[in-house]
Amino acid sequence: MARPIFVKFDVPAELEKESLDLLAEVKDTGRIKKGTNEVTKTVERGMARLVYISEDVEPEEIVAHIPLLCEEKGIPYIYIKNKNELGDSCGLTVPTAAAAIVDLAKGKDALDKLIKKIKSLKKE
Domains and CATH numbers, the chain: 13-123 (3.30.1330.30)
pTM assigned to the model: 0.91
Q: Is the four-CA dihedral 22, 28, 30, 33 of positive or negative sign?
A: positive
Q: Partners of 100 in the beta sheet?
A: 33, 51
Q: How far is CA 18 from CA 48, 82, 85, in A?
A: 18, 15, 12
- To the nearest whole percent, how much of the chain has pLDDT over 70? 93
Q: H or E element: which one contains 72?
A: helix 65-73
Q: What is the pLDDT of residues 29-64, one digit of tens each?
A: 899 999 999 999 999 999 999 999 999 999 999 999
